[in-house]
Amino acid sequence: MRVPRCLIARFRAYHYYDDLARACTESGMEVALAFCEYREDVDAFNQVIERFRPDFILSHPHFSESISAIGAARGIPVVHWMVDKIIHRGQFHRGKFSDGDLILSTYRHDVDHFRGMGVRAEYLPNACNILPVDDVHGDPRYGVGFVGTIELGENNYYRQFVDTMRTQSVGQAPELIAVIEKMIQFFDQVLDLQEEASKNFQYILPHLEKNLFRSLEGIFTFKNDEGDSANFTANDMVAILIKETSFRQRRHFFSALPSLDAFGPEDWTRANLPNVRYHGTCEQYRESGQVFAHSRINLAIARIYSLDGLSDRIFNVLFAGGFLLANRHDPLSELFREGIDLDTYATVEELLDKIRFYENNPQARERIARAGRENVLRNHTFKNRAAELRRLATSLRG
């Protein structure tokens, strides 16, 4: 059987492509890499296709409409390994995809969504994607650590939306201003309901959308002074609110901790959490492993809307030899053993109890961290995923 050829499309913001290429090679594929991010990359990318003649193109970590179009024009299947949860489902419609596309999503409900549109899709979990750490299980420098955002930055679409709407309403007709304020009040009511549910990791926003948004649909259609209509669909509204739900969820758990060592974007400085020691930014590929390895306890809080999959934080913490305390949900228990590879919680009270226990029982903490690392090295590296990738991609030609 001829060795399959994989062309990996690179995006400049990510630094793991050499690791991914090595894993694909070790899994029995020939590999080439080329940038295909900007319009000026396309000619060079096509030249690589001419020379290398790939059997399939791999786009990681997200779907790329331009790469899909290149594959369709040349009759080459494109595998899009998407590692982020879909925020706005309305932006993914059948017209964006070619018949040669295969979507690999790390979130099961997204797989169902793509299949429902008639797009080929499979579930493929995330994998560790950071540099190895030399001093795993080193002496802790941090207590309870978290690397990531608190969701107050530029991706909090709700806060941007509110600011924009209020700014644009200045000088507008009183009727329009009243509609905008009524809309914001309604959104806040919905967010309050979801915030309460988030305390027990219950995601009710879709239910609220069906039962409340539609009954108030008239609020969301109006005309400005120029006569232009502004209309929000249900998908629009969920997408606007969804990051704010994560902020409120994370604030609930973080604020209950005696202290937290936080690394990530500067939005932490706006969170008004006096128990947080903010240590600045942390580049994921090169630096986050050191934080994971040198924290007594690493905290994971799956975003309330993404409980159908696992973020790469889970795999990276364990790969670095860190002890992980994560919220309990099905995808986690399918791959890792509670109390053996990591430990879990479901409420603030349980989280605080387990933090106290593991702070006072370093041997148990270290034993679990070692087992978790062994599990990831055995089952959840790029090489593990590349073997499945080869099988799925080969079937596209069959």
The enclosing domain of 367 has a CATH number of 3.40.50.2000
Q: Kindly state whether residue 269 falls inside one of the protein's structural domains.
A: no
Closest by CA position to 9, among listed 167, 151, 346, 20: 20
Distances (CA, A) of 72 to 55, 75, 91: 13, 5, 20
Give residue 215's pLDDT. Answer: 54
Query: Do 18 and 118 belong to one domain?
Result: yes
The residue out of 243, 261, 294 marking a domain boundary is: 243
Q: Kindly state whether residue 21 falls inside one of the protein's structural domains.
A: yes
Query: Do 375 and 289 belong to one domain?
Result: yes
Query: Do 367 and 393 belong to one domain?
Result: no
The HSE-up count of residue 350 (CA atoms within 13 Å, CB side) is 12
Range of 299's domain?
142-148+282-380
Give residue 232's pLDDT. Answer: 61
Closest by CA position to 114, among listed 123, 364, 276: 123
Looking at the 3D structure of the chain, how many domains does it have?
Answer: 3
Strand order in the sheet with 56-59: 30-35, 5-10, 56-59, 78-82, 101-105, 120-123
The residue out of 243, 274, 304 marking a domain boundary is: 243
Query: Do 173 and 83 belong to one domain?
Result: no
Query: Do 23 and 105 belong to one domain?
Result: yes
CA–CA gap between residue 342 and residue 365 (Å, rounded): 9
CB 97 within 8 A of CB 73: no
Query: Do 115 and 203 belong to one domain?
Result: no
Query: Do 369 and 392 belong to one domain?
Result: no
- The pairing of strands 221-223 and 142-147 is unpaired
Query: Do 172 and 101 belong to one domain?
Result: no
Q: Kindly state whether residue 194 falls inside one of the protein's structural domains.
A: yes
Give residue 167's pLDDT. Answer: 87
Amino acid at 292: F
Output DSSP code: residue 98.
-
CA–CA gap between residue 11 and residue 377 (Å, rounded): 26
Q: Kindly state whether residue 105 falls inside one of the protein's structural domains.
A: yes
The residue out of 217, 243, 269 marking a domain boundary is: 243
Which residues, 6+ apart, have CB-to-CB distance to 239 below 8 Å?
A: 87, 88, 90, 157
Q: Kindly state whether residue 99 falls inside one of the protein's structural domains.
A: yes
**Segments in the chain below pLDDT 70:** 1, 209-234, 397-398
Q: Kindly state whether residue 171 falls inside one of the protein's structural domains.
A: yes
Output DSSP code: residue 212.
I
Query: Do 236 and 315 belong to one domain?
Result: no
Query: Do 95 and 168 belong to one domain?
Result: no
Give residue 326's pLDDT. Answer: 98
Give residue 227's pLDDT. Answer: 46
Which residues, 6+ apart, have CB-to-CB distance to 104 below 8 Å?
A: 79, 80, 81, 82, 121, 122, 123, 124, 389, 392
Orientation angle between helical segments 362-379 and 348-360, nearest 10 degrees: 110
Give residue 20's pLDDT. Answer: 98
Closest by CA position to 386, among listed 99, 67, 60: 60
Residue with tokens 């594929």: 29
Residue with tokens 């890499």: 33
Give residue 76's pLDDT. Answer: 96
Q: Kindly state whether residue 258 falls inside one of the protein's structural domains.
A: no
CB 25 within 8 A of CB 388: no
Maximum CA extent, the chain: 72
Q: Kindly state whether residue 224 falls inside one of the protein's structural domains.
A: yes
Query: Do 389 and 349 belong to one domain?
Result: no
Query: Do 222 and 293 belong to one domain?
Result: no
Give tens-digit pLDDT for 180-198: 888 888 889 899 999 999 9
CA–CA gap between residue 111 and residue 104 (Å, rounded): 8
